[in-house]
Structures are given as structure tokens and as C-alpha cells.
Structure 1
């Protein structure tokens, strides 16, 4: 159980670290250039989605869907809260400086990027037949076909 939560917190930290790197890149390299800041933000969301696709692929192989999906959801919610509330403070901004529209747009974009990443990772895993349920069904079919038939006596 301890290992499971450690993985969740490491994932949340990695997702937040990607955001911090993107914010510092925008602050130090492209301060005032909105087009470059938008490209860096788009790259950040792509990296977050890619990380979650890989996590969904790896965790989906060895654990049931309900277990790893809950873990990913906790990690995403913690990372999103840190990204939206603490991230701006690290570069000297107020989290609510852009208004409610910007604040909620960040939340929706973050949820969209993470949702797409998890969905792509799990769909690829399922299409390859490597997910936990497919492997269980495969083992069940193998066990049932190797057992000899019972002879019915009358």
C-alpha cells in the first residue's frame, strides 16, 4: 500500500514539475511574447498528456482499471490544484490575476490534456490486448481448454 501511494505522489510531483518548468521557461525566456508563451503552454499540455498515456499503459497492464484509474485521478487532481494555485506564485503572479475566465480555462485545459492522455494510453493498451482484464480472460481460457472433459456416466 505504501508503494502505491508513493507512485501517486511521484506522478503528481512529475506533472507539477512539468508545469513549473514551462512557467519558468515562459518567465525567463519569453516574457511579454504571448505567441511563444502559448506554444510553450501547448507543449506543456502535450508532455503532460504523454506522461499520462505512458502511465496508463504501464499501470493498466498490472492492475485492474478501477484501481489505477482512481490513483491517476488523485494524482491529476493534486497536480492540477498545485498547478493552478501554487504554480503562478512561483513566478511572482497571482493565481486569480487573469480573472475567473483564465482561472477556469486553466482547469478545463488541464483536465482535457490529462483526460486525452489517459484515454490514448488505455485505448492503445486495450487494442493490443495487454490490459489487465484481457490477460485475465486469456489465462481463464487457457485453463479451461487444458482441463480434460469430465466423462458423464449414465
Structure 2
């Protein structure tokens, strides 16, 4: 059980680290360039989506969908809370400094990027037939085929 939550914590820390790196790059490399900071933010969301696609692909092969969804939701929830509340403090800004619109836009964009990443990773895994459920069904079919037919007497 401890390994499960350790993996979730490492994933949340990795997602938060991507956000911190993007904030630091925006702060020090492009302090006054809004177009460049938008590109850095887009790159951050793409990296987060790719990380989650890879994790969904890897974990989806070993875990049932319910457990996978719970683990990913926990990691994304923790990373989102850190990103929204702690991330701005790292670069010396107020989390609510941009107003409510920017605050909630950041939440919705983060959730959209993470949902897209998880969906892409899991759909690719399912299309390849390597997800947990498909492998279960394959084992069941092989087991049924390997048994000899029962002769029924009348």
C-alpha cells in the first residue's frame, strides 16, 4: 500500500516540478514578454499531458480502471492544489493577484490538459489491447479454450 501512495506522490511532485520550472523560466527569461510566457505555459501544459499519457499507458496495463482513475485523480488533485496555491509563491506572486478569472482559468486549463493526457494514454493502451481488462478477457478466453469439451449424456 505504501508503494502505491509513493508512486502517486512522486507523480504529483513531478507535475508540480514542471509547473515550477515553467514559472521560473517565465519569470527570469521572459519577464515582460506576454507572448513568450504564453508559449512557455502552452509547453508546460503539453509536457504535463505527455507525462500523464505515459503514466496512464504504463499504469493502465497493471491496474484496473477504478484504481487507475483514483490514483491519477489523487496525483492530479495534489499537483493542482500545489500549482494554484504554492506555485505563484515560488516566484514571488500572489495566488489571487490576477483576480478570480485568472485563478479559475488556471484551474480549468490544468484540468483540461491532465484529462487530455490521461485520455490519450489510456485510449492508446486500450486500442493496443494491453489494458488490464483486455488482458483479463484474453486470459479467460484462453482458459476456456484450453479445457476439453464435456460430453453430455442423454
TM-score by length of 1: 0.99
Matches of 1:25 and 1:123, distance apart in 2: 32
Matches of 1:47 and 1:114, distance apart in 2: 10
What is the Cα deviation at residue 152 of structure 1? 1.1
Count of aligned pairs between the two proteins: 154
Matches of 1:112 and 1:135, distance apart in 2: 29
Q: Per-residue CA shift, 1:64-121, capped at 9, x if unaligned?
A: 0000110000000000000000000000000000000000000000000000000000
Matches of 1:32 and 1:93, distance apart in 2: 15
Matches of 1:5 and 1:126, distance apart in 2: 25
Q: How does 1:53-72 map to 2 (within 5 A)?
A: 53-72=53-72
Q: Work out whether 1:30 is the aligned partner of 2:17.
A: no
Query: Which runs of 4 or more aligned residues in structure 1 lie more than 2 Å from their structure 2 counterparts after TM superposition?
Result: none
CA RMSD of aligned residues (A): 0.4
Aligned to 2:101: 101
Matches of 2:69 and 2:118, distance apart in 1: 9
Gapped runs of 5+ residues in structure 1? none
Matches of 2:52 and 2:73, distance apart in 1: 11
Q: Work out whether 1:84 is the aligned partner of 2:84.
A: yes
Aligned to 2:75: 75
Aligned to 1:124: 124
Matches of 1:107 and 1:45, distance apart in 2: 12
Matches of 2:129 and 2:109, distance apart in 1: 30
Matches of 2:15 and 2:58, distance apart in 1: 16
Q: Per-residue CA shift, 1:25-77, capped at 9, x if unaligned?
A: 00110001000000000000000000000000000001100001100000000
SS at match of 1:95: coil
